[in-house]
Structure 1
Amino acid sequence: MKKSIEAYLFQLTSQLNKVNRNEFSAHALSEKVGLNRSTVSSYLNTGFRKGILLKIKTYPVSFLHKQAFQENYFEVSKNEYDSFEELFAENQTQLVTIDPLEQVIGATGSLREKINQIKTAIMYPNGGLPIMLLGSSGSGKTFLASEIYEYAVAKNILPSDAPYISHNCAQYYNNPELLSSVLFGHTKGAFTGAETDREGLLDIADGGILFLDEVHRLSDEGQEKLFTFMDTGEYSPIGDNSIKKRATIRLIFATTEDIQSSFLPTFLRRLPVIVHLPSFHERPQAERLQLIDQFFIQESNILQRRVSVSSKVLHFLLDANLEGNVGKIKNIIKFACGNAYSKQWQNEEIVVRLTDIPVEHLMHPFSSGKMINNQKNMKQRKYLPNTTYQSNLETEERKRVKTFFNRLLDDFQKIDAHQLSAEQFILFATESVILLMDEFVFYTPDDKETSFFSYMIHNIRSTFQFMNENYGFNQDGNKVLSIANYLYAKENQDFLTNHPKWENLRVPLFQFLEESMKDELWLAKRFLNYLSIQMDSEFLDEDIVFIAFYLKSMNLSSIESEIKAVVLAHGYSTASSMANVANRMLQKNIFQAYDMPLGITIDEIEKKVLQYMESYRVDEGLILMVDMGSLNIVAQHLANKIQGPLLIIDSFNTPLLLEVGNLLLQHATIFEIHDKIMDTLQIKKQMAMPKVNKKKAIITCCYTGMGSAIQIKEIMKKSLGNASNMLTILPYDYQKLKDHKSYELPFQMYDILAIVGTENPELENVPYFGLDKLVNGEMIDGLVDLLSDYFEVDIEKLKQELIFNFSLRKMVETLTILDADRVLHSVREAIDELERSLEWSFDANRKYLLYLHVSCMIERLLRKEEVDDQEDIESYKRQHWGTMEKIHRSFQQIEKEYTITISDLELRLLNDIVLN
């Protein structure tokens, strides 16, 4: 029954413009399908919740079939509308935001660079730059020129009523003087037959665009007059050089000829933008098929019939070695459709077969020899009338990828609207990617070009090998096949360029990924960067996002930003041999080697190091060990380009490598290594820091881990408002700060103003602001005074924001999605009970930390998230069983209230806070 309702609604929606809108109500539908209204209403609302149907909240409520609507009209951005007017107004909004040049077939593929050139020319100040379009006849020069005009109008570069004049100079083949007259105008008596003054094309096109096709027909004199106009904006009509006219015109030229032999060098020098357009058969197969689809859709609209095209016709058009170009293909399609229509005009569907194509074209050989072999792979295609775009022509895989990106942007907006948490957003996106990639493992495209696909597989496998060798990124056949099929199905098309939300959400989305999925984002960029070099093909921002979520789904272990060490030595294998010995003795691959020829220059060494830094994370620092006496020069060259500390060691040997390697294995900082390496070896060493003005920063830390430190950072940012843009708020590991003090990296990279946290790591000369003191207001004034010394802030407003955001209730609201009042009430009773059981009172800091930790613990347990295993938990329990038991009893009411179980691992964390 559900299927019959859905099928009927699909058919009805396809004829939306021809039927009464009341036909889409539950009552009307129930009468048509013969079911009672309540049953139909239930089915319709279920379909709406599943995203199959659109709901129009008119009276009565109407339902449309979403797929049928999008196939016949336009893509929608949501599933619910207040009225039909709102629904159709969305199409007008989409039309306003469309970039005409991005709609050109190939704009994200073979014409990508050409379109960028054209946009540069049109956007250039003071009237833009002249454009020359080169290409064989029928390659689309005239069409592209008209789209350039539409782009200029859409971007408000030209007013909507600006003239667009297109003129083909070929019609003056035998009379170039007359062409000059048409172009510049003429005065009475200028030549025989010039009986009156007459305006030229420059007069008519003033304020707009003049497109001159086959411009090579201009005489040398005409070219000279034209480039004089290009230089000065002035021209004279033929017959009277004393008359000076002015015009502001953007010029577009086109020619099929070789420009070096057809134009004066002085004319060519005035053409900074020369765009070469590929012929039809130079285009990728996906673009050729898009062009064919477009022409058949146009014919379907003209004939007002569904048009069905056989696979043999499609292969003929794709592969036949025809003279001519896109225009020839278009004319063949027009004739074939007309031929089929003349025989089948009484049918609702016109079927186009190979016999409908002109016989003289069928005699041409096929360029690739693939037609016979591939006929079974290409399916028949159907085209619908009254449309300009038909999503039914896209593969299901492309539709699913597009749906993924649409939902991704919708969900990302829900974070700001507090409808989704960041964790939920990542979870939903990751699950969607997993489902897609599982499907791609078994995806076998109908039109897959075996040689190209094999080439793609080879390069992706090579990229995985590179990632495995350098980052421990394991590969398997499914991963290779999934990514290959994803990229093949997309055909390098940008799904988000024209998405109405992408322009505003792109930067915030990448900032979010940088903060929440830093490792996966970095790996995705490395993966696609390496693959793009291998395949000589650029990848898109959306591909980076997709691959990042795919990597997230693999649950990769966090990539540690460790100190890296590189050995550079002269000789065929000197560096490699020494690094290999040290790595084998240390039983870990610590050193990477570069063997250098004797004549290598400082610039070449610098290039090697920079290439390494682009390929590896060196946030914690880089140790460069060289065997040459150019330490100071190397340091000076790199100081302006490094992002982290650089330790350069001159004159090294195996014992020194082992010493440095052992310190790295002990997780020493780069500054400790600088201080500890053996001075008795009489080595030279130098520390270089990035030559940047250190940005002011505040460190946040928490005894219980990084999670709370990150949350404190968020509260600080919210409190500071715009002032937070002037400094960095940096969550950092408490234990590292306590153990290594100012040796830690933040103190080398930033000017640390203060530390805010739950426990003081006790660093000299760095003010500490305890969270408990901020909560009770005791240290608010001190923090505000400190910040006002460095930044222009509204002191009273900042105080109010800090007081509000650091209140305990607000903290819990920020840290969890649970009801803050209920959580705090439950935690207070548990802590009160614990104080009674232990017979002592907790100080303010300890009590605050317990409130904070337990609130987060409850949510964590509700999400089924476990803390890390602890190997010594059994011995710890034997040592502290008394207090752990009392803690557990005190928190039993919380276990009952939230239906959770507090494990021994969680009790240990609570015990650590209680005992400090």
Structure 2
Amino acid sequence: MKRRDKIYESLLGLWTKADAQQVRDLKGSTTLEIAKLTGYSRSNCSSELNHLVTDRKVVKIQTYPVRYIPSSILIKTGEQIPGDFVVQKVSKKEKPNEIGIKHSDDPFSKLIGADQSLRKAIKQAKAAIMYPPHGLDMLLLGPTGSGKTFFANVSYQFAKYAKQIPANAPFIVFNCADYYNNAQLLLSQIFGHVKGSYTGADTSEAGIVEKADGGILLLDEVHRLPPEGQEMLFTFMDTGHFARLGESEKTRTANVLIIAATNENPHSNLLSTFLRRIPTVINIPALSEKGIREKVQIVNYLFRQEAARIQRDLDVNISVIESILFASNYGNIGQLKSQIKLICARAFLNNLNTDGDLLVNTSCLPEEIQAVSASRQTDDQQKQLTSIVPQHTIYSFDSNSRPDVLDDNIYIDIAKKVNELRAQRLPENKIQSIVMQGIRGHIRSFLKDPVESAKLENFISPSTLKLTLRLREIAEELLKEHFDHRFLYYIGMHIDTYLARGYRDEKLLMETEISRIKYEYAKEYAVALAFKNEIAQANNVYLPDIEVVYLTLLLSSLRQMSKEKARSVGILVVAHGNSTATSMVEVTRELLGESNIDALDMPLNCSPTEMAERIARHVESLNEGLGVLLLVDMGSLFHLEEQIEQKTSVPIKILPYVTTITVLDTVRKANYLNMNLSGLYHSIWNDFLETVTTAVRPESSALPKAILSICMTGTGTAERLKTIIVNIINLASSEPIQVKTISALELKSKIPTLSKKYDILATVGTKKPNLPVPHISLETLISGNGETLLRSIIGHQAVTNVQPKGPSTIVPAEICRDVLEKNLIYFNPYLMTRSLISWTEDLARILNLEFSNSTIVKCVVHTSFAFERSLRNETVKYPYTATPEVSRISKAVTRTLQPYEDDLKVKLTEDEIYYISEIVVDDQGQSLIQHA
């Protein structure tokens, strides 16, 4: 008799005479019990029992320790399999779905989150695929790592399953970013080309459109598609006809369902004519937008993947799952996956010489997580987690399961490396250190740095990103220190800008200054020279000496940033909404690294007492002895300062406005300028007030008018800022006004020359020059009244009486769309933004007021949420007695909103109107509420 059969017969013998009550009480036999009965080792029993589970002969029960019972015993005793029985249920009734397809076979039903965060997306995708005769094209929106490509693949599987496409239909995936620097080659890849159509086209080739005929084509990072490519594509989407590149006489046809995907705002990067051809826009939620239950399901799936690779059961303590979910912030599932791989690799290394279940406890956590308390979760989150996760979770390996990358099995490499090192008679602690270093490198290369590239890939080319990752390796090796994500932003964007501008050798520093930098930063200069050689090999580009000096300065700045500080002012971001504050803090951490900062997302119906209690807990946690600065989004929070100080005895300051740019600037000043609480508060506040109170230049000049765009090098940020300024100029004035980019390093040398050549109306950017004209900081332009001020300067009007040609909504419109894209479920975020910005203009005109950018954003976002709540009959109650001013404003709000309510067929309640009115009153600096 085979070992597996003997083990099964032994287990069956233990339970043949059991009745239903015994089954309910004992719930099966443990691996150890079977091992003692059969004489086999515990690990062999565990392996064979899991094979029997796969064969449906045995049911595995998720208890601690894990237990097994024959399926036939459960059937004989008539027992329903309870929820804590796992893997292969004995019987299951299948329910038909809305198009007569069984859920158990529906590819979408197997997705984690199918009945939660992905419910709406799946319904949209099914409707688009089933639409007669051949389905509707789709656009998937979502941040990097949210699973857009995976969702498209499941859509393809569903289309085959529902017989909308043949079983052998092609599924072609094409990443537009791979060729975005070469539009001609990109179009050739999509539509094909004929021989001789461009240099190097030695033969005629079919494009991906032809190859996808009869199936589905996924265009990933579609925002990289140039305008001419979009035009050719929407012609094909309209007619089904296309031509290869260089082919003028012959017309070809293909039947292709197109799924486009992007992590960008489509209205900023895609032609409106192209977007109109895609009737179905599907938002794929980010990991941060998923609930705890769904995140636990994802964690469970990833641990099972690792169990399959190791071929051993994993016994994971709840504290590990708690730390994974709450002690770290993950931008996407790729980051979460890398952390779990690292944890399991350490557990495997710790238990290499043991049999049986692999114990995964807090000692397996990376040091950076062990050092962080998992106290970030709220009491409700803690209760929810403990209600769905047992103290010990057993993740069983299935011999028939297929992990994502079976051929990339890190555990085989670990065992092999340990044996090699032991053969060299190295001490165990040295072996552990060497192997863990290799594990980290392996996982980093496996994931291709998803954290860093996720943000940076939107700004620089893939080739430059690859080069920058290599440069970081060189810097870490030569300087013997670790560089975080900021290395990619500083070095990567600088190199990409340099390569893009045509390799100009512009010297912004004096020779004496260059010599001083080379001497004072000799180590960094040596590394920069190594960069020069690497760039020459990778791009065949000679880097001039001045660029080597710039890289030296950047390296020096990065090294200084890496130095730890003992204490800093705590920063707490408080904003209303499900993830508004969290999103801003996550972006800040990704760009500037870990800081003494935390986020608090406030429900709109949270009472003032509860609000003060929650804020107080966070303030006490953040205080390192220097106090806490609160950045809040509503004036009602501003009035809690005295109450919170009394509760905590911690000195605090509250700033009644917050944006991502404000948070970034606050952290930068707290960390790198070493400001105390009072200095930090006044610095951030004065940045805002300075621009508003600056006198506008009264006299005119015969010289050509200009506005200066300023950043460190005069390229990069300044060039991007120039685009925003040009758009504002085009709306505000018909006069020719030039925008000149200038480096902060050359202000002293070039300002006199520019002042003689141009009538400088204003300066915009990262540094204020010594000029008698208004300066608008980058923060003020984005979050404050900077856009209005700039338009008034251009039109030579007083700030208090601005009547520009168009609405001052270029910047807030972008912010509103970003927020609503992530949060709206039922309404289109683009239409809501456009409609409600028009409404704010109507409201401001009736009230004879001027709204700041922050007020426009608050009104649009809050009102959009109010419409969604009203649609779901989940409106909030206004718990106060409205002041006369709130009542007055509410009448104007009601009157101006009525046409939009009629269009949306949703009526807002009086309570919702009062909340909206508070925002307007708050903006004018008046009393918000009077408690009943």
Indicate the TM-score class for this superposition, using the shorter chain for normalisation: 0.3 to 0.5
Of structures 1 and 2, the larger Rg is shown by: 1
Superposition TM-score, scaled by structure 2 size = 0.35
Superposition TM-score, scaled by structure 1 size = 0.36
